[in-house]
Amino acid sequence: MIKITTLKAFTDNYIWLVATNEGLLVVDPGDSQPVEDFLNKSNEVLSDILITHHHFDHTGGVEKLNSQSLLNVYGPTGSIFTGINRELKEGDTINVIGIDFSIIEVPGHTLDHIAYYSENEGEPILFCGDTLFAGGCGRVFEGTYEQMHNSLNKLKILPENTKVYCGHEYTLSNLRFALEVDAENIFLKDRYDECINLRNNDQATIPSLLEEELKTNPFLRCDNRIIQENIKQKFNLNKMPIEKETFKATREWKDNA
Ligand SMILES: [Zn+2]
């Protein structure tokens, strides 16, 4: 039995705190303070940290949380973030606080980006940092568009009931953009309304279900003919874009939106 708590950091980051009867881990502690506050209040002890990629808003709290250097800090092999002491690569499996995770390399947003997936006894969970967002995806900073597209396609084939825990509350802005790219999508408007409600009540829109991402996230729907047609019109292309061209054009459109 696992319990996942949402900790807010900075303006729109989420730090995920995962507890089992074997221990406590946090994912991407960009700031130590929300984690320390939680630990002080609950009288619990942190044992492990999972890092998805090197960006400061995902790693900035590690040094303080691990000031006695007793924690396992898992993260990608070859990362420029130096606080990692358990390096991971594609296909690795780890057991942390009794949870089995498999490691999926998802370069694109950064070159060192990894995701943590667990089948979690039929209730699968994914910690994917800034790769797949609710209704969107991360910016392509270090990798190529093709790498990012391939990375998202790796996440796309996970079970549809996977709960997706990403690193930011960007959902409303993502869905507003999605409504431009995929205006005919009947699921999108409903999802947008639901998320507006959640945000009006100061609730997180995360986690989302992979199933709803597959239906509404344009970056997972680049093989969709209607989206491809919309991209063709938007950019005045003289032929229908293929899937990877659709991804690149959609990502650039969002960057400039
Ligand atoms: Zn990032």
pLDDT of residue 69: 83
Instruction: Tell how far the Cα of 55 is from the centroid of ligand 1, in angstroms.
Output: 5
Instruction: Tell how far the Cα of 182 is from the centroid of ligand 1, in angstroms.
Output: 26
Total structural domains in the chain? 1
Give me the domain span that covers residue 154.
Answer: 3-255
Regions of the chain with pLDDT less than 50: none
DSSP for the chain, please give it.
Answer: --EEEEEEETTTEEEEEEEETTEEEEE--S-SHHHHHHHHHHT----EEE-S---HHHHTTHHHHTTTS-SEEEEETT-S-TT-SEEE-TT-EEEETTEEEEEEE--SSSTT-EEEEE-GGGS-EEEEETSEETTEE---SSS-HHHHHHHHHHHHTS-TT-EEEESB--HHHHHHHHHHHTTT-HHHHHHHHHHHHHHHTT----SEEHHHHHHH-GGG-TT-HHHHHHHHHHTT-SS---HHHHHHHHHHHHHT-
Active site amino acids: 53, 55, 57-58, 109, 130, 168
Which CATH number goes with the domain that contains 59? 3.60.15.10
pLDDT of residue 230: 97
Instruction: Tell how far the Cα of 221 is from the centroid of ligand 1, in angstroms.
Output: 22
Instruction: Tell how far the Cα of 208 is from the centroid of ligand 1, in angstroms.
Output: 19
pLDDT of residue 68: 87
Q: What is the pTM of this model?
A: 0.97
Instruction: Tell how far the Cα of 84 is from the centroid of ligand 1, in angstroms.
Output: 16
The string of pLDDT tens digits covering residues 128-156 is 999 999 999 999 999 999 999 999 999 99
pLDDT of residue 257: 85
